[in-house]
Amino acid sequence: MKRLFCFILLLALCIGSVQAQLHLNTKLQNNHLWRGMEVTDGIVLLTDLSYTMADNHITIGLWGGTNSEGSYKEFNHYMSLKADGWHLDLWDTYNFSPGATYNNKQYWNYSAHTTGRFLDATLGYHFNNNTIPLSLSWSTVIFGRDRNSDNTQQKYSTFAYAEYRIYDNDGWKIDAGIGGAFALNKAGEEAHFYGTTAGIVHISLQACHDLKLGKYTIPVYVNGMWNPQSNQSYFQLGAGIINL
């Protein structure tokens, strides 16, 4: 699996060497929310270093996150292909937080039975017009720590998501989202990567605004997220502090 990812990465570099750009984005948040879960709380710094090629149709990047307490540490590789509203994303995710209950000490371990990482593939489509401001995506964990309790089978946990822009005016953007999760391979049990059974695990409402401070523009956002299955809710406040 590691060799496959490296081959795809090398191929993307060869194909997209024309019209390439380097980007650096950093966000500061009071927590990190992801697909119905609060990954961590505290002051969180999230950084994305990406390289876009072929007129922005190909992106490869490194993504990292940490919090002020040092209890959350994550370092991911990813690649994205985009064309005509479609996007295909492959994320190689490694959360090596000190309190992890899985293998968090072997970064390059790609053994299906012992790895602490997972590979997530997402196919999505964005209706890029004002009439239908809708985004749809289907994400499946295709490898890694998404196994049944006996560690004998991959569950291929899947997260299906829809997001609709309900307001876009005066510098404000408000998006509503809903996501459901289930396992393509139950492997004898109902639980999956996102919850205890198939169903809705994510409902969100996010408002974003570009804050003008002199010659600088800082995107700020608030996000309310509810998980009906776990009966949990979370509130997030964040800002983009670097955009290069």
**Alpha helix ranges (H) inside the chain:** 2-15
All residues at 6 or more sequence positions from 171 whose CB lies less than 8 Å from its CB, including other chains: 209, 210
Residue for token pair 């790895």: 115
- Rounded to whole angstroms, the Cα distance separating 205 from 178 reads 9
Structural element, H or E, at residue 164 = strand 157-169
pLDDT digits (tens, 9 = 90+) for 76-113: 999 999 999 999 999 999 999 999 999 999 999 999 99
Which residues have C-beta within 8 Å of that of residue 243, sequence separation ≥ 6? 24, 25, 219
Q: Which residue has the tokens 């005066």?
A: 170
What pLDDT does residue 187 have? Answer: 96
Rg (the chain; Cα; Å): 18
Percent of the chain with pLDDT over 90: 85
pLDDT value of residue 114: 97
For the chain, residues with pLDDT lower than 50 are none
pLDDT confidence of residue 133: 93
In angstroms, rounded to a whole number, what is the distance separating the alpha carbons of residues 3 and 119? 13
Name residue, tokens 């005509």. 84
What pLDDT is attached to residue 13? Answer: 55
Residue 54 confidence (pLDDT): 87
